[in-house]
Structure 1
Amino acid sequence: MARTTVELLYLVGGLVAAAALTWVAAWAYPLGYKTIWWCGAGAMVASVLMSIGPLRRARAIDRRQN
């Protein structure tokens, strides 16, 4: 369970960082607000999709250890 928890924490941390950077960028450049948020959303979706493999591997290792 420990490896899976760490992977989930990395995912949540990445999503928080992406949301914060997107918010700051949209605040700093109001003319590009919608475009910036679409790009940020794409980055967040990509982060979730890229974390599926590591999460599955971590879960498999945790299952074998228990």
Structure 2
Amino acid sequence: MRVLIELFYIVLGLAAALVMTWAAAWAYPLGRAEIWWCGIGAMVATVAMGVGPLHRARIADRMARRHSEQ
């Protein structure tokens, strides 16, 4: 369950970055290419920052499953 929550937050962060990038590119067409590169960087950073919590959630879920089996 914890893994699903962490995945939800990663997807939510990606969606937020996408919407903000789209809005910024729409609002400033002269910088569209640079804005999209920054948005892609933000999306990569969002995924990179989510890896650690996702790993810890996976371990916690596995430990909870082991304790419930005993």
What's the TM-score bracket when you normalise by the shorter of the two chains?
A: over 0.9
Aligned to 1:19: 18
The root-mean-square deviation of aligned C-alpha atoms, in Å, is: 0.3
Look up the equivalent residue of 2:54 and give its one-letter code. L
Q: Who is 2:7 aligned against?
A: 8
Report deviation, 1:55.
Answer: 0.2
Match of 1:49 in 2: 48
Work out which of the two has the higher radius of gyration on C-alpha atoms and give 1 or 2: 2
Structure 1 unaligned spans of 5+: none
Q: Give me the identity figure in percent.
A: 60
Give the residue type in structure 1 aligned to 2:12. G
- Structure 1 runs of 4+ aligned residues shifted over 3 Å read none
Letter in 1 for 2:4: T
Unmatched runs of 5 consecutive residues or more in structure 2 = 66-70
Q: Which of structures 1 and 2 has the larger relative contact order (alpha carbons within 8 angstroms, sep 6+)?
A: 1
User: Residues of 1 paired with 2:36 and 2:63: CA distance?
Assistant: 41
> Aligned residue pairs: how many?
65
Residue of structure 1 equivalent to 2:36: 37
